[in-house]
């Protein structure tokens, strides 16, 4: 028996890469264990972006170290934390058997195939070649939502961010390989939504092809493409051509995640974000002008070294001006190896928390007001599942990723499109009634 247990932490890219690994393992004879405690091989696909993510993983490593005393197994750590700490990780937790850095993920699948057929222990020699290889497929067979990586790594070096150090420089995927993966997904017939993934998707460039060029080519090749989304964008690379492309292709979900990170020019400069507050505001206005039905979300990082009360107020003002539909807010933690690690962490924990609470309260109020303004609208919803609370209700999401509940028969298969009218808002969830179901 070769039973594996795979735990994934962090971003969608990690999840897509874990899916790819899992598919390869299934193909080469490994079977998923019902519980970690029954596995012959435990793999943790890790994240290094925030301290809290790494702390959770340290906790899990402690658990598996203890488990090894009663249930011997191979313990493998892959992904960003493995890349960041390399052999130091093994020194800190000797129970770790295999370290698989970001650039070795493709090799790891090959190794697992050999280990399964030869039934020998895993060893990973010939480490890091520093060339990232994209897997050929990244989605689970029966999902109706698929994630397709189109680029990897980041060249931006925001001063607080570990990503360029653990995922390396930007590498764009060959469009033929992207289209081959999408063709496979569409051929299977179930996939209704594809998210194109990358640390900075809109800086995609393969030979002469940029991101809008890739999207145009995608719709030319697949004129009946399902909903298409992309994650994540950098404001400095969000070109007028990309806005025009979204306007031209109605299948592109009217949802843009555009991390602003801060509202003060001083802090944006210290963060090395490479745009000003004014440039961001102009871009947001242009996007909303050209795509009036778009839902705009963002990331905001508060408590960066040197942040004054005035800088914080500038951020609140920017939020009030843009009126984001949603915002992911967090406060600064120094990450070793980044440029900001050497800056003095001037904002104390208590103040960071206070400012974060203020941000969250403001965003909650803005989100709620914007959602209320949508009541009465007719929208298209992708059905996800039958509600666990009420089997006569269907749970779905709009193209802006908002949750919608509407009455429906349990016989209706999830993964279909429905047209509904938004009637009521309870918390963050819309309640709606169905107008039409697409055949
Ligand atoms: S753009 Fe900045 S925040 Fe985003 S991955 Fe690159 S360095 Fe990190």
Give the domains, in start order, of the chain with CATH numbers: 3-118 (3.40.50.12160), 145-372 (3.80.30.20), 378-437 (2.40.50.140)
Pocket of ligand 1 contains residue 268 by CB under 6 Å? no
Q: Mean per-residue pLDDT for 23-32? A: 88
Q: Mean per-residue pLDDT for 92-108? A: 86
Pocket of ligand 1 contains residue 199 by CB under 6 Å? yes
Q: Could you tell me the distance, in angstroms and rounded to a whole number, from the CA of residue 261 to the centre of ligand 1?
A: 10
Within 10 angstroms of residue 438's Cβ, the number of other Cβ atoms is 9
pLDDT of residue 131: 72
pLDDT of residue 99: 87
User: Could you tell me the pTM of the whole model?
Assistant: 0.92
- Look at residue 277 and tell me whether its pLDDT is greater than 80: yes
- For atom 2 of ligand 1, the residue with the nearest CA is 158
* Length in residues, the chain: 439
Residue-wise pLDDT for 308-324, tens only, equals 999 999 999 999 999 99
Mutate to test the pocket of ligand 1, among 49, 199, 268 (most ligand atoms within 8 A of CB): 199
- For atom 1 of ligand 1, the residue with the nearest CA is 156
Cα–Cα distances in angstroms (integers) from residue 395 to residues 195, 323, 408, 420, in the given order: 20, 27, 9, 12
Residue-wise pLDDT for 249-275, tens only, equals 999 999 999 999 999 999 999 999 999
> 353 with 394: CB under 8 angstroms?
no
**Residue 348: pLDDT band with limits 50, 70, 90:** very high
Pocket of ligand 1 contains residue 202 by CB under 6 Å? no
Q: Mean per-residue pLDDT for 182-206? A: 93
Pocket of ligand 1 contains residue 235 by CB under 6 Å? no
- Look at residue 34 and tell me whether its pLDDT is greater than 70: yes
Q: Which residues fall within 8 angstroms of residue 86, CB to CB, at 6 or more apart?
A: 99, 101
CA of residue 153 relative to chain centroid, distance: 13
Residue 185 phi/psi, 5-degree rounding, is -65, -45
Q: Mean per-residue pLDDT for 428-439? A: 88
pLDDT of residue 116: 53
Ordered strands of the 145-149 beta sheet = 145-149, 193-197, 227-231
pLDDT of residue 367: 97
């Amino acid at each position: 028996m070769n039973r594996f247990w795979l735990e994934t932490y962090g971003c969608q890219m990690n999840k897509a890469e874990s899916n790819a690994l899992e598919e390869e393992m299934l193909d080469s004879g490994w079977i998923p264990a019902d519980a970690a405690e029954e596995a012959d091989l435990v793999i943790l696909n890790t994240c290094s972006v925030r301290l809290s993510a790494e702390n959770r993983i340290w906790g899990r490593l402690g658990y598996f170290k203890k488990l090894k005393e009663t249930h011997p197994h191979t313990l493998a750590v892959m992904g960003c934390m493995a890349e960041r700490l390399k052999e130091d990780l093994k020194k800190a937790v000797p129970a770790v058997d295999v370290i698989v850095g970001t650039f070795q993920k493709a090799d790891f699948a090959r190794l697992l195939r050999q280990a399964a057929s030869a039934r020998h222990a895993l060893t990973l020699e010939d480490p890091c070649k520093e060339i990232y290889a994209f897997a050929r497929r990244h989605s689970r067979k029966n999902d109706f939502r698929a994630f397709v990586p189109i680029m990897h790594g980041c060249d931006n070096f925001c001063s607080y961010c570990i990503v360029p150090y653990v995922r390396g420089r930007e590498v764009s995927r060959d469009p033929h390989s992207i289209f081959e993966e999408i063709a496979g997904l569409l051929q299977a017939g179930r996939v209704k939504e594809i998210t194109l993934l990358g640390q900075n998707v809109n800086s995609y460039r393969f030979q002469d092809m940029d991101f809008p060029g890739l999207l145009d080519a995608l719709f030319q090749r697949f004129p009946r493409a399902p909903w298409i989304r992309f994650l994540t964008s950098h404001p400095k690379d969000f070109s007028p051509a990309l806005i025009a492309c979204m306007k031209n292709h109605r299948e592109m979900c009217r949802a843009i995640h555009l991390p602003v990170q801060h509202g003060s020019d001083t802090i944006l400069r210290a963060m090395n974000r490479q745009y000003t507050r004014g440039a961001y505001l102009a871009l947001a206005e242009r996007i909303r002008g050209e795509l009036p039905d778009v839902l705009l979300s963002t990331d905001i990082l508060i408590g960066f070294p040197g942040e004054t009360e005035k800088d914080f107020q500038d951020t609140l003002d920017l939020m009030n001006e843009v009126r984001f539909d949603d915002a992911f807010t967090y406060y600064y933690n120094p990450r070793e190896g980044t440029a900001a690690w050497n800056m003095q962490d001037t904002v104390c924990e208590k103040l960071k928390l206070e400012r974060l609470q203020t941000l969250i309260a403001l965003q909650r109020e803005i989100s709620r007001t914007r959602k209320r303004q949508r009541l009465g609208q007719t929208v298209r919803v992708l059905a996800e599942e039958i509600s666990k609370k009420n089997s006569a209700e269907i749970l779905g999401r709009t193209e802006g990723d908002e949750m919608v509940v509407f009455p429906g028969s349990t016989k209706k298969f999830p993964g279909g499109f429905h047209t509904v009218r938004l009637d009521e808002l309870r918390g963050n969830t819309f309640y709606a009634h169905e107008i039409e179901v697409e055949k």
